[in-house]
Amino acid sequence: MTGGTARGVHWVLAHPQQDSLNGRLFRSGVETLSADHDVVTSDLYAQDFDPVLRESDLGRPASRPGGRAAERLAEAYARGELAADVVAEQGKLAASHLLVLQFPLWWYGPPAILKGWLDRVLVGGFAYDDRLDPRYGVPRRYGDGGLVGRRALVVVTAGEDPGSIGPRGISGDLESLLFPLLHGTLWYVGIEALALHVVHDADGLDEDGVQREETRLRERLRGIGTEPGRPYRRLRDGEYREGRALRADLHPGRTDLGIHRLDA
């Protein structure tokens, strides 16, 4: 699965309140992008998306007893046995070149409904491949997945200020907190994330503050097509040893997550 339409956008919202700050940013963002792009949306709470991966999602039993859930999902995808709601979401994503994931930061991560969307939609065969690349001898993951060629904008609202959720903040650095999403999920399947779009102090914004954030998001979206990406290192480029650890000659002595970025 590669490509995506040249101007297709898939905007996924994970917030339960239509009249919230997130709801207003969602509507403003979709309206802005719709002027020049074909935009499809997934308002997960509004469409009552089921985030729970169930036995029924796995299709028929695996080819051997005790097959892993990931293997059974891949087989179900190959046989066309995935649930209709999952197939619909995969169709939206496949037709898009830009994925927007919007959510409030809850307990230092995305809401459960978005995690469940990722669990059920990004299955083997569609989003990545366990087979070895015949040229490089590594699985098609980390920059070479089934959704390669796409980019992602993560829009996140946080109730804390940049000091407390920054590099030295008590809550940790937001880039590090979202590393499992940016690298372990998006980059894993080949989607290159853009710089985070963060709304700080979201709980304390007055009407003027909300309008400022709507304007800031609109301005960014108007130039989204020319934004540089922030790629991580690809698995197939030989910079990781057999144990998947970064080579010792690259950033020796460093252990922070930034070492996996090409621009580190």
Tens-digit pLDDT string for the chain (264 aa): 445 655 799 999 999 988 899 999 999 999 999 999 999 999 999 999 999 998 888 877 644 555 688 888 888 988 999 999 999 999 999 999 999 999 999 999 999 999 999 999 999 999 998 776 666 667 788 888 889 999 999 999 998 787 788 888 888 889 999 999 999 999 999 999 999 999 998 888 889 999 999 999 999 999 999 998 888 999 888 898 876 899 999 999 999 999 999 886
Give CA–CA dist 109/107, Å, rounded: 6
**Sequence ranges of the domains in the chain:** 8-234
Rg (CA), the chain: 19
Q: Which CATH architecture has domain 8-234?
A: 3-Layer(aba) Sandwich (3.40)
Give CA–CA dist 75/67, Å, rounded: 10
Q: DSSP letters along 8-36, please?
A: EEEEEE--S-TTSHHHHHHHHHHHHHHTT
Strands 197-199, 129-132: parallel, antiparallel or unpaired by DSSP? unpaired
Find, among 113, 143, 158, the residue nearest to 12 by Cα.
Answer: 113
Q: How far is CA 117 from CA 106, 120, 176, 185, in A?
A: 16, 5, 21, 12
Residue 1: the pLDDT is 46
Residue 66: the pLDDT is 57
Q: DSSP letters along 101-127, please?
A: EEEE-BTTB--HHHHHHHHHHS-BTTT
Residue 67: the pLDDT is 64
Is residue 21 within 8 Å of residue 208, measured between CB atoms?
no
CA 258 to chain centre: 18
Q: Cβ-count burial of 2 within 10 angstroms (0-12 exposed, 13-18 middle, 19+ buried)? A: exposed
Q: How far is CA 189 from CA 148, 150, 205, 246, in A?
A: 7, 10, 35, 19
